[in-house]
Structure formats: C-alpha cells, structure tokens
Structure 1
Amino acid sequence: MNALKKAGNSVNTFAKKWAEFVIKFKWPVFLLTILLALGLASQGKMEFDGDYHVFFSESNPELEAFDALQEKYTKDDNIVIVLAPDNGEVFTRENLVAIEELTASAWNTPYSSRVDAVTNFQHTSADGDDLYVDDLSYESATKTDAEIKEIKAKALKEPLLLHRIINEKGSVTAINVTVRLPGVDSAAEIPEVTVATRKMVDEFKEKHPQFKVYTTGLVPLNTAFFEASQSDLALIGIMLLIVVVVTFLLTRNFFATLSTLVVVLFSIMSAVGFIGLTGIKLTPPSAVFPTMILTLAVADSIHILVTMLQKVRKDGMGKKEALVESMRLNFMPVFITSLTTVIGFLTMNFGDVPPFWHLGNITAFGMAMAFLYSTTTLPALMAIFPLWRKKVASKKEEKIGMYTKLGLFVTRQPARLAVISLVVIAGLTYLATLNVFNDEFVEYFDDSVQFRRDSDFINDNLTGFYNVEFSVGSGESGGINNPEYLQKLNAFEDWLNDQSEVVHVNAFSEVARRVNRSMHGDDQTYYRVPDNRQEAAQFLLLYELSLPFGLDLNNQINVDKSETRVTATLKNISSAEMIAFSARAEEWLRNNTKEPMHSIGVSPTMMFSKLGFRQADSMFNGNIIALILISLVLMLALRNFKLGLLSIIPNVTPVLVGFGIWALYKGQINTGMVIVFGMTLGIIVDDTVHFMSKFLRARRELGYDAKQAVIYAFETVGRALVTTTVVLLSGFAVLSTSSFALNSYMARITVIIITAALIIDFLLLPALLILSSRKDEAVEAIPNQLKPELKLNK
C-alpha cells in the first residue's frame, strides 16, 4: 500500500511539474506541437477503396473458395440494368428496339466481356438434323406483331430467362453486363465503369423516356461502398460545428472552445499522417475516423477545462494556479481514459474484417496524439489566452447545486438504488440475448442510397439479388457429358427449384435438355438430358460452335469440361437463412451424389453472410483481453484492487443494457455492431475513472467518509461527465445519420450505451462505492455547503 501511495504521490508531483513546465515554456511548446501536427499531416494521403473484397482478410476461407471458383470460370463482376417500360409491356416493337440499342451500347462498357439480354438470348431450334442458334429477337424494328407475340411466348417459357432476365408478366426486363476488372487499381477501375454506365443510362433515358431504369450488381455495390466512404467523411464538417457550439455552451468560454478545437484538429491531422505513412486505404467503416477522433478527443480537453474554470469561477484561483491544479487532478484520469480507449480500439485487430482493423488503428493513434496535445497544446494555449471571468462573491453563501442534490439523493438510499439498478440491468441483459444476427449487404445502405432503392425494386419485380454458387465436378476430363453426371446435376437443379428461398437456377443441365430437344426436331419428349455420352458431347460441341463471340459457355463450364457452375438466385433472406440454405444444398449433394460432385456454396452473398459470425467469434477473445487489460490498468491507476474489480460492473453493464434496449428497438445486429463492446469499453471507462478518482481523492486527501466522498465526486466531476457525454452523444448522433448501416447502427447503439454509462455511473456506481466502503468514524474535512445538510441528517 505504501508503494502504491508513493506512486500516486509521484504521479501528482509529475503532473504538477509538467503543468508548470508547459505554462513556463508555453510558446515553444505550442510551436513544437504545431510543427509535429503539420509534419505528420504533410505525410497524409487519403485514398478510397470501394471494392467489396476489402471486407475480407486474405485468410478468409469463404473468399478463398469464391476466388477459386472464379478462377475456374469467368469472373462475374457485373452491372444489372433493369428496364421497366411505362406501358408495362416489354414486348412491343418500340421497346424491343430500345433494348437492342442499349444491349449494343452495353458492349462498350469498359472491361465488358459479356452482355445478356432478352433480345440476344441464344434460342435454339432445329430444322431436320440442323441445329440453329439465334438471337431471340434481332432487327426488332422489322418484326411483325405476330412475330413479337411469338418472341414473348418463347421468352416467358424459357427457364434460363424467367425470373432472371424477364419477369412472369413480361413487364420488367434486365440487361446483365459482365465485366472483367483487371484488379490492378480498383479505386480507378470501378469509377471508370460507373461513369461510363451512368452516362450510357442517362443517354438511354433521354432517348427513350418511356423507360424507368434501375441498376444493381457487384460494380454498383462497390460504387455504393466508395460513395458511402466519401459521404461519411463529409460528416466531419457537421461534427466540428456541433463540437464548437456544445463546448462553448457548456464551458461558456470562447478561448476554451478555441483551444479544444485546436486539439481535435491537431489530432485528426496526425491521424491523416498515420494513414499516409501506413498506406491504409479508406473504406466506409474506416472513413468515419475523423468523427470518431473528434468526438473522443474532446473528452480529454473538457475535463481539464471544466476543472480549471470551476477553480477560477468558484474558488477564485488565478489562471495559472487553476490550470496547474486542473492538470494535477486530471492528468492521471485523462491518461487512463486515453489508454483504455486506445486498448479498446486496438482490439478491433482481433476481428476478421480489415476495414475495422484500420478504423481501430487510426483511431487509437489519433487518441494517443489527442492525449499528447491535450496535455501540451491545451494548457499552453490556455496560458497564452487571456481569461475573462467574473469576480467571485467571497462572503455570499453558495446554493446547493444540481450535482450536489444528485449526490445527496444517491447517498440517502444506496441499497435501494443498487437493487433497482441491478434488476433493470438483469432484465435488459436477458433481452440482449434475443438479438438476431443479420448481415444482408443490400441492407448495409438505407433508402436514401440509389443502389438500395434500385436493388429493392429489382428484388420485388424481377429477380433476387442474392445468390449461392456451386462448382459441381464430375471427377474426369470431359465428364460433364457423362449421362450419370447430367442426371444427378439435373436432379440437383430440380431440388434447388423446389426450395422456397430460390427464385431462379442457372445450371448446365438446362442447356443440355434444350439442345437435346432441338436436336430431336424440337420434340418435347426429348426435353431431358441425353442418355448417351458420345451424343451429349457432340450436341455440346455443335451448340458451342453456334454461339456468337461473348455469349459462350465459359461462365458455366471449366476449361477441361470436368466441372460446371450452378447458380441459385435467392430472395432477400437473412444471413442465418442464407447459411442454412447453403448447408442444406451441400448436404443434398453429399447424400445423393458421388464425392466428385460434392461442393460448397460460395458467392459474395455467402461471404457477407458468414462475415458477421466470423467477426463475432474472432472478436470474443479480443474483448476478453481488452476487459482484463482495462481492469488491470484501473486497479493500478486507482491503487485499489477491490475498486478495480468493482469498476468492471459500470464498465460492462452499459454494453449489456445497450444491446437489451436494441433488442426492443431493432432486434437485429450486423457486423459493425460486433466491435461495439471493445470500442465502447474504452470510451465508457472515462466516466468511471473520473468519478472513482475524485471519490478516492476525497477519501485519501480530504478524509471524507464514503457518502461525503460521493457527494464531492458529483460536485467536482459531475458537470464534466455530463459535458463529455453530451459531446460524445452529439458526435455519434451525427454518425448515426450515415447512409451506411454498418456505421449508423454502430453509432446508434453507441449512443444508447454512452447514455446508459452516464446513468449507471450516476446511480449504480456511487451506490456500490458506498455499500462496499467501510464506515468511517472520523471525518477530517466537510465541504462548507454540505454542513447544513449533514446537520439535518444528524
């Protein structure tokens, strides 16, 4: 204990001497921190990466499986352009001509390798022993009404078109543009494709105003990620304004507000330099780092400034004396809160989502710099700036303030407040377990994003946006022509079509059935897979030779014809349902086919569906480590093992309360919310540390009993805690307006958690401090304003 006491005294002495040093050399200190901030900022380079692949680590097994599938076949990055004519009828001469024109234009899209539309669908027919493969509708301007009617009938009966390119009513159709991005620089390639696509669509709409046009696909998804990053980065302007206004209203001091603004700007500038030095590319999750740092960095400054201003306004201290005392009182709590916040954000590295690694590392660095600037730049500026203050009325008795009254309220009934609080927390903890995990990536964006609105329309009126793909092998070169393989593949296709989640199935067995029928004079009885291997191989060769350039079967068959690709397009279903569907399909293959045909379901949809579960599993260890480290830090900082353990309760319970309330509000959590425990654990420690440090100071230095120490803590730190909480709530409230759900949901639940943390630290924590403390017989010092109240209690 003596060693801990000496350590505490050493910290106080260091903080006091540090403050005196900074004040004495205020101009050199200020200039050096300016040079540091500008030097780091000069290395800054902010680049954006909108490719959805950035959400997956290189070791992610789902990504590895998906990349392996794309290497066997063609890459399927795509743009889906959906056309909805005002007359509700795709099959008119005018509309088919327009679709032909847009299909032709789509071939000019940068990096395009294939364009699929209803007009260029390769329809097979036979004339005797001859097989004819033609566009379903070519030179549509010359078609008669009877021919157009026939084209419609063929299209609506074609399994490869229905619910994929055309809907049942024939009122909505799609043009699917497949692009093969080089993958050298996605930050340049994706915008290039997007600009060209948007220009093409605008020109089409101007020429053919009778169509409403919607776009979706993986390229528009990447673009939505890219634009969300830039949009969220712009939130910093709103947040800066809010911080300035809120800080000024709560401190009522212009120079304090200006000093705070300088600290947060220097912190952000340093973080930008860190990004440049480490080569991090910004993504939607990591692009919110300025708002994060700005919001969190304010807390350090607020505690120092509020204490200083209290000493000046209430105790009549001089500016220098008040600044030194504020630094002495707050240096260790500010250091501890900064350290725990850094630890919390660094735990994001335990997860499996690289953009959150980047967010954690950038914010952790920014918070470390914020501590440096708040203990150097801030006191230096406050020493430089004049301090306008009213004279303190020395003889006039002060009224009991709001925070004193709150302290008195808690000290009168600690047991009752503790029991009520713990019961409420237990109930909300139970509700927290009822949250369901769901990570549909279309729902990463809210309705203000065009990509989300277009995808919802397409899902409701044409086809699903989600899919699961299987590479079904035969076990031998050319084995896809084996009748046994084709029959099993056909059975798998039929099973998929029978599943309630499935909208459409694209499988080679459908091609084999169509060609077999056409090669037998379009006799419907031959609409089945061939039963002779040699015949099947010949039919396939003849069919492939008849296909035009760009519309071959390379997207369905691998090079040596040993495997084929089966794509099941699904309704918009939850992550758990997606994973369950894929597991059922994999089980069907294991139970009904030979080993070479066994396959696992892959696709970007599956990758995102499993991402959140994988992130949750990997973050669990990180959160445990963070909790242990932060608890150890608090035990050492507070120099009290018992109170260090006790601090775990107000640090963990706000998160449980937050997720309990979230279960009532939304009931679903996503990948972005998985990091909340580690992230907020560091943030909410701020309230606990400052309250407990003031409580212990009253006990150790002033000799107060537990109840008086609680009231002292409310008086000295209550306003600062409310001030920092308001600023934190403002920052995360701004972030909650993000159109990107990973960020907005994370911000909303953080708002709930931070609010819960303040309430718990104002009700449960002081109650627990009183109940866990030994009763003191002697009281060395009693605050003047409490004497009437203490007499009344006696």
Structure 2
Amino acid sequence: MNALKKASNATNAFAKSWANFVIKFKWPVLLITMLLALGLGSQGNMEFDGDYHVFFSKSNPELEAFDALQEKYTKDDNVVLVLSPSNGNVFTKNNLSAIEALTKEAWNTPYSSRVDAITNYQYTRAVGDDLYVDDLSYESSLKTDDDIKKIRQIALKEPLLVNRIINEAGSVTAINITVKLPGVDINEIPGEVTPFVRNMISNFETKHPKIKIHSSGLIPMNTAFFEASMKDLMLTMIMLVIVVITTLILTRNFVSTFATLIVVLFSIISAIGFVGIMGIKLTPPSAVFPTMILTLAVADSIHILVTMLQKMRKEGLNKIDALKEAMRLNFMPVFITSLTTIIGFLTMNFGDVPPFWDLGNITAFGMLMAFLFSTTTLPALMAILPVKSKVKKASDTPIKSSLYTVFGNFVVKQPVRLTIISVLVISGLTYLASKNTFNDEFVNYFDKTVDFRNSTDYISENLTGIYNIEYSVGSGESGGINNPEYLKNLNAFENWLKKQPEVIHVNAFSEIARRVNRSMHGDDTNFYRVPENRDEAAQYLLLYELSLPFGLDLNNQINVDKSETRVTVTTENISSAEMIAFSKRGENWLKNNTPEAMHAIGVSPTLMFSKLGFRQADSMLNGNIVALILISLVLMLALRSFKLGLLSIIPNVTPVLVGFGIWALYKGQINTGMVVVFGMTLGIIVDDTVHFMSKFLRAKRELGYNSKQAVVYAFETVGKALVTTTVVLLAGFTVLSTSSFALNSYMARITLIIIIAALVIDFILLPSLLILTSKKEDKIISNEKVAQVAFDK
C-alpha cells in the first residue's frame, strides 16, 4: 500500500510541476508550440495516388503474379465505353456510323495502345484460297440495309464478341480502350486520360443525344479511388464545424471551445507535415487522417476542460487553481489513453494493405502531437484567456443529485444482476459476430452516388461482367502454341470454362485458331476446330497476324516467343470467397487434365482484391494480439494493479465483439477496411476505461472510499467527460460514415457501434465488476474503520 501511495504521490507531483511550469511560462510555451506546429506544417506536401496497385504491398504474391503476366503480354489498364442506343438496336446505319466515329476518336486517348469495338472487329473470311481479315463494319454510313443485316448476323454469332463487345440482343455495345501508362507521373490518369475521356463522352452525347454512354474499367476505377480521396479529405471541414458546435454545447464556454480548436488544428497541421516529411502519397483510406485526428484529439482537451470547469463551478476554485487541479487529475489518464491509441493505430502496420499502414502511422503521429499540445498549448491558452464561470453558491436551492450520481447509485445496488445480464447479452452478440462473412468486391468499395459504381452495375446487368480471372497457359517450348496437342488441351480448357455457372465469357487463343482454320478451308463449318497439323497451324497464325492492322495484333494474347497464351475468363459479380474458389477450380482442372507445362495460376485485379481481405485478416491477427498485450501491460503499470490491468481487458475487448455482433444483424458482411477496426478501436475505447478506473482508484487510494462509494465518485467526476468525448467521437465517425468509399464508411459505421457499446459497458459492466472484485478489499477497509472507531473511543 505504501508503494502505491508513493507512486501516486510521484505521479501527482510530476503533474503539478508540469502544470506549474506551463502556466508560469505560458507565453513562451504557446509561442514554441505554435512554431513547432507551423514548422512541421511547412513541410507538408499532400499528393494523391489513385492507382489501385497502392492497395497491395510489393511482396504481395497475387500482385507479383499479375505483374508477371502483364510483362508477358500487354497491360490491362483500360476504359470501357458502353453505348446504349435509345432505339435498342445497335445495328442501324446511324448507330454504327456513330460507333465508328467514336472508335476513331478513342485512338486519340492519351497513352492509348489499342481500341476494340464492334466496327473494327477483325472478321476473317475466305475467298478461294485467300484469307481476308477486315473491319466488320467500315464506312458504315455507306452500308445498305442488307449489309447491316449481314453485319448483325455475323456479330451475334461471333464468340469473341457476344457478351463481351455486344450483348445477345444487339441492344448494347462496348468500345474498349487499352491504355499503356508510362507510370512516370501520378497525374497521368486524373490529369490526362480521365479529362480526355470525359470530354470525349460529353461531346459524343451532345452530338448523338439518342445514345447514352456508361464508362468503366481500370482507369475509371483508379479515377474513382482518386476522387474518393479528395472527397473524403473535404469531410474534415464538415467535422471541424461539428466539433466546434458540439464542444461549445457540452462545455458551454467559448474560451474552452477556442482552445480545443487550436489544439486540434495544431495536431492536424503537424500530421500534414509528417505526410510531407515521410513522402506519403494519400489514398482513400489514408486521406481520412484529418477527420480521425480531429475526432480523437478533442478527447484529450475535453477531459482537462470539463474537470477545470467543474472545479470552478462546483467548488468555486479560481481559474489557475482549477486548471492546475484539472492537469493533476488528468495528466496521467490522458497520457495513457494517448499511448494506447497510438499503439492501436500502429498495429495497422501488421496488415498487408499499405494505405492502412499510412493511415495508422499518420494518425499515431497526430495523436502524439495532440497529447503534447493538449498538455502545453491548451493550459497555456486557458491561463492567458479570460474564463468566466458561474459558481454555485451554498445559499442556492439544495442541489439535486446529478444524473450521473443517480445512475451510479443504480449500478452499485445491483452489480450481480447487471453483470449476469451483460454477460448474457455479450455472449449472444459474440455468437452472432461469428456469423459475419467476408466479401471484398472492389466495385462495392463505392456507393451508388459514384458514377463508376452505377456505370459498372449497368454494364454488368446489360452487357458483360467486369470481374475476370486470367491464366497464362504455357506450352513448354518456343512456338509451342501451334502444337496440336497444346491446342486441343487449350480448347478443352476453354470448353470447360464456358460450362461453369459463374462464367459469362471466355477469350482464348483456341477460338482464333478454330476461326482461322475454318476460313482457310473455305469457311466450311466442319473445319471449325483447332488445326491438327503443327506446320499448318503455324502458317495459318502467321498469315492471320500479317493481315491484322496496327494496334489490333495478338500481343495481348500471345507472348513474344509464342510459348504461352492468355486465357481471360469474365465472370458474374460473385463474392470474394466464390471468386477464389472458382480460380482454384480452374487451376485444379489444368493440373488434372493437361501436361505440367500448361499448369497455370489464376491472376487478375479482381482476384487480388478478393484475396486482399483474407490476407489482411490473417496478417492483422498478430497485430491485434500485440496491441492487446501492450495495452494491457500499459494499464497494469499505469493503474499499478495486476488484477485491474487484467480486468480492464474485458471492457476493452467486449465492445468490439458486441459491435461485430450487431453488424451481423445490420449487414452480415465485412470488408478489408473493417479488419483494422479491432486494433484501431481498442486504442480508442481504452479512453473510457482508463478515465473511469483512474477516478475509481483515486477515490479508494486518496479518499479512503469503499468500492461502491468509489464507483459513484467516478460517475460524478468523469461521467460527463466520458459522455462528452463519446458524443464528439460519434459526431466524427458519423461524418466519416457518409463517405462514398465503403472501406471508410463501413469502418466508421462499425466504429460508431463499438464506441456506443464501449460507453454502455463502461457504465454498466465495468463498475459492476469493480465492485464484485473488490469485496475482499472493502471488508479490510471496513474492519480498519471499525478498529479506528474502537481505538478513538
């Protein structure tokens, strides 16, 4: 007990000395901290990176496999323009002419390397012994009705067109622009490609008002990521207004509100400087750091200010004495909560998604600076500025018990009942939490206010799927793709893929081999099969390639030495788990039915995103364990109690379980952004636990209260501050939950649930457990008091 008193006295002495120093040198402290914030801010340089590659670490095996595939063939960065004529018929003279004109204009897209459309589809036909390869529809304005009818018949029978470039009804068609980005400047997409495409679409729709265009593809997806970053950054301004209003309402003091605003602004400015110094490029997840810091930094200031104002209003202390006492009571709890929050955010580095590393590191630095400013700038400002507070006089009407006192008395009367009810509710919600399923479809990263999401949904419903998997199927030898055995196996793989229920379209070299073989035999349908002679297959391929125009060659399907070909499978919008399972089925089919040289793994951005969440969950498991252990150790040391340190794990972990249980009822699906929630919120919700337990212990150790009296004291002294900080946190994460980017909005929504659960648990379960686990100590205290009374007599 003496050791605890000594430690407590040492902590109080340091807090007093710190407060005295800051208040005595208030002007120099204010000037130095201002220069520090502005100095860091001057290094700020916020650049945005919308490339989807940023979501994957350099060691990510799916990314490595996909990059390897793109090195063999041409890159897949593309823009898909889907044209929907109002008359529901692509095959009219006017519509084909418009498509032909837009296809020609699309070649002017910056960095474009290929444009595929129905009009420039390379149609093969035989005239005697000669092979002709021509655009399916050129000079469309000169075509007769019979010509157009024939074009329609050809197009709707071509496997490479149907459900890829044209739908089965012939009512919707696509133009696919392949873009080969140099990768030198991050503005290549948002500054060059996207503006050109949008302007091209606008001009086309003005000229052809009866044709509507929807755009999708990897370039529009990157643009959507970039614009989501910019939009979410603007949420900070909304949050800033809300924090000012909320703080003013809850503290009822303009000076306190102003001081809080200065602290959060200094913290955000410092974090912006950290971004510039570290060379971090912002992405949708990391761009929300100002809102995060703003929301969390307020909590530090609120605890100090609420205590100060309470001391002035209820106890009649002058401003300086109230400020010193507020610093003494809150310095250590604020330090502990800042430290645990920093630990929680730093655990994001254990994950496999670099943007969340950045979010964790930036926010952790911001919280470090928030602690510094809230213990220096804040008290310095409060010491300088005039603070008025109405003191309640003893002659006033007898003070009614506060709501927090009433609630505290309600809890202490029935700790056993409240514990049993809490355990039953938490157990039920924990069971529900296990029913959440993981689904990480990248299209659903955006809500329906985003054009990319709406256009992609339209394309999926009316033309083709936007999810795909690719296999680079090798032959084991240079020129081996002309081997009849290879072609037969490739053909069999193509046929197997087409029979799978998820598949919408398959693009494989075996289809070209069949088509050319048929054309070289006078378009006889009996020869619509892969060639059976290697030399013959090689000659046909050479003749076909020589007939193709510039930009429409087979480099996107065949590697340089003709030893491998690319099979692209377009699927329906299926879940992450289904996508992974389908890819594995394809890999297993190749293993079981083809030579070893033909074995291939499935790769694609779709598959990368599907596996990303599972990989993130696996890697974050270690981070969450580390966070839990570190935070528990911090609390044990800070509270100077092994028992209470262990006990604190319950109110710190159960809100997360409750949150995911309620989420199972709300959505039932979680994404990559929600995987980091455990570590992130663990650091945040410790705030309530630490402040409540610190006041509980102060009542027992300094005032000699028993556990029930200490619980009521904790409610009276810190209850309002906990509710106030919770309201501010709810306001911040509510703003963030409106983000159009699902990784951020879902993360914010479940955090809202967890924060509410944390307050409820800290107001009901935590005090009940403190009472139940302190019965032995209460008995000792009671006996000591009885003995003291007897001695006095």
TM range (shorter): over 0.9
CA contact (8 A) 2:312 2:391 kept: no
Question: Residues 780, 219 of structure 1: CA spacing in aligned structure 2 closer, same or farther, 3 A cutoff?
Answer: farther
CA contact (8 A) 1:703 1:781 kept: no
CA distance in 2, matches of 1:189, 1:446: 22
CA distance in 2, matches of 1:325, 1:188: 57
Q: CA shift at 1:81, angstroms?
A: 0.3
CA contact (8 A) 2:189 2:219 kept: no
Q: CA shift at 1:390, angstroms?
A: 1.4
CA distance in 1, matches of 2:640, 2:82: 66
CA distance in 1, matches of 2:582, 2:37: 52
Corresponding residue for residue 63 of structure 1: 63
CA distance in 2, matches of 1:554, 1:252: 69
CA distance in 2, matches of 1:186, 1:440: 25
CA distance in 1, matches of 2:643, 2:598: 61
1:172 partner letter: V
Map 1:730-749 to 2 at 5 A. 730-749=731-750
Corresponding residue for residue 755 of structure 2: 754
CA distance in 2, matches of 1:154, 1:17: 88
Could you list the per-position Cα deviations for residues 588-646 of structure 1 after superposition, in whole angstroms to 9, with x for gaps in the alignment? Answer: 00000010000000000010000000000000000000000000000000001000000
CA distance in 2, matches of 1:594, 1:526: 26
3-state SS of paired residue (2:274): helix
Q: CA shift at 1:186, angstroms?
A: 2.5
Q: CA shift at 1:776, angstroms?
A: 3.6
Map 1:302-313 to 2 at 5 A. 302-313=302-313
Could you list the per-position Cα deviations for residues 547-579 of structure 1 after superposition, in whole angstroms to 9, with x for gaps in the alignment? Answer: 000000000000000000000001111000000
Corresponding residue for residue 706 of structure 1: 707
CA distance in 2, matches of 1:612, 1:777: 52
1:444 aligns with 2:442: no
Could you list the per-position Cα deviations for residues 390-409 of structure 1 after superposition, in whole angstroms to 9, with x for gaps in the alignment? Answer: 13212443211100000001
Corresponding residue for residue 526 of structure 1: 527
CA contact (8 A) 2:75 2:180 kept: yes
Corresponding residue for residue 416 of structure 2: 415
CA distance in 2, matches of 1:186, 1:599: 32
1:602 partner letter: V
CA distance in 1, matches of 2:545, 2:193: 29
Q: CA shift at 1:780, angstroms?
A: 12
Corresponding residue for residue 669 of structure 2: 668
1:236 aligns with 2:236: yes
Q: CA shift at 1:2, angstroms?
A: 4.1
Corresponding residue for residue 765 of structure 2: 764
Corresponding residue for residue 390 of structure 2: 390
Q: CA shift at 1:144, angstroms?
A: 0.4
CA contact (8 A) 2:190 2:226 kept: no
Could you list the per-position Cα deviations for residues 32-52 of structure 1 after superposition, in whole angstroms to 9, with x for gaps in the alignment? Answer: 111000000000000000000
1:518 partner letter: S
Question: Residues 779, 723 of structure 1: CA spacing in aligned structure 2 closer, same or farther, 3 A cutoff?
Answer: farther
Q: CA shift at 1:388, angstroms?
A: 1.1
Map 1:84-163 to 2 at 5 A. 84-163=84-163
Question: Residues 730, 375 of structure 1: CA spacing in aligned structure 2 closer, same or farther, 3 A cutoff?
Answer: same
Could you list the per-position Cα deviations for residues 324-352 of structure 1 after superposition, in whole angstroms to 9, with x for gaps in the alignment? Answer: 00000000000000000000000000000
Could you list the per-position Cα deviations for residues 155-194 of structure 1 after superposition, in whole angstroms to 9, with x for gaps in the alignment? Answer: 0000000000000000000000000000112334443100
1:623 partner letter: N
3-state SS of paired residue (1:157): coil
CA distance in 1, matches of 2:195, 2:46: 21
2:232 partner letter: D
Mean Cα deviation higher: 112-121 or 11-20: 11-20
3-state SS of paired residue (1:178): strand
Q: CA shift at 1:7, angstroms?
A: 2.5
2:459 partner letter: I
Q: CA shift at 1:3, angstroms?
A: 3.9
Corresponding residue for residue 786 of structure 1: none
What's the TM-score, normalizing by structure 2?
0.98
CA distance in 2, matches of 1:75, 1:363: 35
Corresponding residue for residue 538 of structure 2: 537
CA contact (8 A) 1:293 1:367 kept: yes
1:670 partner letter: N
CA contact (8 A) 1:81 1:216 kept: yes
Corresponding residue for residue 789 of structure 1: none
Q: CA shift at 1:252, angstroms?
A: 0.1
Corresponding residue for residue 264 of structure 1: 264
CA contact (8 A) 1:702 1:781 kept: no
Corresponding residue for residue 609 of structure 2: 608
CA distance in 1, matches of 2:583, 2:490: 16
CA distance in 2, matches of 1:361, 1:423: 37
Corresponding residue for residue 195 of structure 1: 195
CA distance in 2, matches of 1:741, 1:216: 18
3-state SS of paired residue (2:84): strand
3-state SS of paired residue (2:176): strand
Specify every segment of 5 or more residues in structure 2 that has no aligned partner in the other structure, as ranges: 786-793
CA contact (8 A) 1:437 1:669 kept: yes
Could you list the per-position Cα deviations for residues 196-232 of structure 1 after superposition, in whole angstroms to 9, with x for gaps in the alignment? Answer: 1001111111111111110000000000000000000
CA contact (8 A) 2:189 2:223 kept: no
CA distance in 1, matches of 2:239, 2:367: 17
CA contact (8 A) 1:471 1:564 kept: yes
CA distance in 2, matches of 1:365, 1:96: 58
CA distance in 2, matches of 1:70, 1:28: 59
CA contact (8 A) 2:347 2:623 kept: yes
CA contact (8 A) 1:130 1:519 kept: yes
1:282 aligns with 2:292: no
Corresponding residue for residue 790 of structure 1: none
CA distance in 2, matches of 1:658, 1:588: 41
Map 1:397-546 to 2 at 5 A. 397-546=398-547
CA distance in 1, matches of 2:781, 2:529: 96
3-state SS of paired residue (1:114): strand
Could you list the per-position Cα deviations for residues 220-261 of structure 1 after superposition, in whole angstroms to 9, with x for gaps in the alignment? Answer: 000000000000000001000000000000000000000000
Corresponding residue for residue 790 of structure 2: none
1:586 aligns with 2:552: no
CA distance in 2, matches of 1:360, 1:260: 23
What's the TM-score, normalizing by structure 1?
0.98
1:748 partner letter: R
3-state SS of paired residue (1:81): strand
Corresponding residue for residue 18 of structure 2: 18
Q: CA shift at 1:292, angstroms?
A: 0.1
Could you list the per-position Cα deviations for residues 742-793 of structure 1 after superposition, in whole angstroms to 9, with x for gaps in the alignment? Answer: 00000000000000000000000000000000224656999xxxxxxxxxxx
Question: Residues 781, 356 of structure 1: CA spacing in aligned structure 2 closer, same or farther, 3 A cutoff?
Answer: farther
CA contact (8 A) 1:704 1:779 kept: no
The count of residues paired between Structure 1 and Structure 2 equals 782
Corresponding residue for residue 362 of structure 1: 362
CA distance in 1, matches of 2:192, 2:11: 57
CA contact (8 A) 2:37 2:270 kept: yes
1:290 partner letter: P
CA distance in 1, matches of 2:390, 2:559: 82
Q: CA shift at 1:111, angstroms?
A: 0.3
Corresponding residue for residue 639 of structure 2: 638
CA distance in 2, matches of 1:389, 1:182: 63
CA distance in 1, matches of 2:314, 2:549: 86
Could you list the per-position Cα deviations for residues 642-663 of structure 1 after superposition, in whole angstroms to 9, with x for gaps in the alignment? Answer: 0000000000000000000000
3-state SS of paired residue (1:234): helix
2:92 partner letter: T
3-state SS of paired residue (1:82): strand
Mean Cα deviation higher: 668-677 or 180-189: 180-189
2:542 partner letter: L
CA distance in 1, matches of 2:504, 2:353: 30
Mean Cα deviation higher: 392-401 or 322-331: 392-401
Corresponding residue for residue 788 of structure 1: none
Instruction: Give the percent of matched residue pairs that are identical in Structure 1 and Structure 2.
Output: 76
Specify every segment of 5 or more residues in structure 1 that has no aligned partner in the other structure, as ranges: 783-794
CA contact (8 A) 1:403 1:719 kept: yes
